[in-house]
């Protein structure tokens, strides 16, 4: 633990440094981690921490790039999107990550004088779409994009969003400009988070804002071990702290309007932030 290493041909996904500190080797699947069908004898990954921006990252080649197109939802929700959707929507506010998220977002939008019926929200990586279903019930105009066509079909049929699109944000073309773009537990799953934030920025309306949530690695390690904390599970390329989250925003030409660490009802340790283009 703790050995400083320079890893050949590997660059930090946030700051492009190659100066890393070795944190841990994980050679078997944690009990609660999503099952991706990796053979038991092949499971091996290292976790490092960038010495410059302080982001943590998983190093391995065990998950295919296209896993989120359909296998992730099948593995995570056992092919029952609607059943899990209804179960989560029925959780009480104090037991629901999504309802706590809705509470944060609606308070912030109210404080900056955005009226729900006049506010277009694009959720990137919408998954079960519980968050947008809750927002639509309040009166927001809700849209989503997800790489899994099953999620998109589900969002239209059950969350009743105004528009849903299959694909990724970098290739998304739309004449619609959004007042709020949300990336909830999304950027840690991809290898180009700065590019995604740049793409989101181009879709913002005048005075629009971005809301994002990221796994909080520093706080998670204070209250649990690195093997069993889900913040460090295999599907997360990056795991953040406040410093690395701020640098991520800066690299995308965004300024941090608000950032805070929270312990969610699901036991996740999460950094949430509201961002705006730096020229605002």
User: Considering 59, 80, 102, which residue would you say is the last residue of a domain?
Assistant: 59
Give pTM, 2 decimals: 0.92
Same domain, 126 and 264: yes
* CA 159 from centroid of its chain's CA atoms: 19
Same domain, 89 and 216: yes
Same domain, 173 and 81: yes
Residue 78 exposed, middle or buried by CB count within 10 Å (0-12, 13-18, 19+): exposed
Same domain, 38 and 150: no
Q: Identify which has the larger pLDDT, 163 or 5.
A: 163
Q: In the predicted model, is pLDDT for residue 2 greater than 90?
A: no
Work out how many domains the chain is built from and give that number.
2
User: Considering 59, 77, 94, which residue would you say is the last residue of a domain?
Assistant: 59
CB atoms < 10 A from the CB of 64, how many? Answer: 10
Write down the pLDDT at residue 278: 78
Same domain, 79 and 45: no
Give the CATH number for residue 231: 3.40.50.150
Write down the pLDDT at residue 1: 46
> pLDDT by residue (tens digit) across 219-253?
999 999 999 999 999 999 999 999 999 999 999 99
Q: Is the dihedral of CA 15, 262, 94, 275 positive or negative?
A: negative
Same domain, 39 and 131: no
Same domain, 263 and 161: yes
User: Considering 17, 43, 59, which residue would you say is the last residue of a domain?
Assistant: 59
Same domain, 108 and 55: no
Using pLDDT thresholds of 50, 70 and 90, give the confidence band for residue 78.
Answer: very low
Same domain, 149 and 213: yes
Rounded average pLDDT over 251-266: 97
Same domain, 25 and 156: no
Same domain, 127 and 28: no
Same domain, 16 and 74: no
Show the domain range for 110: 67-277
Q: In the 3-class helix/strand/coil scheme, how is the chain assigned residue by residue?
A: CCCEEECCCCCCCCCCCCEEEEEEEECCCCCCCCCCCCCHHHCCEEEEEECCCCCEEEECCCCCCCHHHCHHHHHHHCCCHHHHHHHHHCCCHHHCHHHHHHHHHHHHHHHCCCCHHHCEEEEECCCCCHHHHHHHHHCCEEEEEECCHHHHHHHHHHHCCCEEEECCHHHCCCCCCEEEEEEECCHHHCCCHHHHHHHHHHCEEEEEEEEEEEEEHHHHHHCCCCCCCHHHCCCCCEEECHHHHHHHHHHCCEEEEEEEEEECCCCCEEEEEEEEECCC
> pLDDT by residue (tens digit) across 152-207?
999 999 999 999 999 999 999 899 999 999 999 999 999 999 999 999 999 999 99
């Amino acid at each position: 633990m703790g050995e400083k290493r320079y890893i050949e041909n590997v660059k930090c996904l946030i700051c492009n440094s190659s100066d890393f500190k070795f944190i841990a080797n994980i050679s078997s699947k944690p009990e609660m981690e999503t099952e991706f069908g990796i053979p038991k004898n092949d499971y091996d990954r290292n976790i490092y921490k960038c010495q410059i921006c302080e982001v943590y990252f998983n190093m391995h080649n065990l998950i295919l790039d296209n896993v989120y197109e359909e296998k992730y939802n099948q593995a995570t929700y056992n092919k029952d999107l609607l059943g899990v959707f209804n179960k989560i929507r029925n959780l009480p506010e104090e037991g629901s990550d999504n309802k706590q998220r809705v509470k944060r977002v609606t308070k912030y939008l109210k404080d900056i004088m955005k009226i729900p019926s006049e506010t277009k929200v694009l959720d990137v990586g919408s998954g079960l779409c519980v968050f947008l279903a809750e927002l639509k019930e309040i009166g927001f105009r809700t849209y989503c994009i997800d790489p899994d066509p099953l999620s998109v079909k589900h969002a239209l049929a059950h969350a009743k969003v105004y528009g849903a699109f299959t694909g990724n944000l970098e290739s998304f073309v739309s004449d619609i400009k959004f007042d709020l773009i949300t990336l909830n537990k999304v950027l840690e799953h991809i290898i180009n988070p700065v590019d995604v934030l740049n793409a989101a920025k181009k879709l913002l309306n005048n005075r629009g804002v971005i809301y994002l949530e990221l796994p909080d690695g520093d706080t998670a390690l204070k209250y649990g071990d690195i093997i069993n904390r889900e913040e460090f599970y295999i599907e997360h390329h990056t795991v953040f702290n406040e410093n690395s989250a701020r640098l991520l925003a800066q690299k995308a030409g965004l300024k941090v309007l608000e950032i805070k660490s929270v312990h969610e009802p699901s036991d996740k340790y999460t950094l949430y932030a509201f961002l705006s283009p730096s020229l605002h």
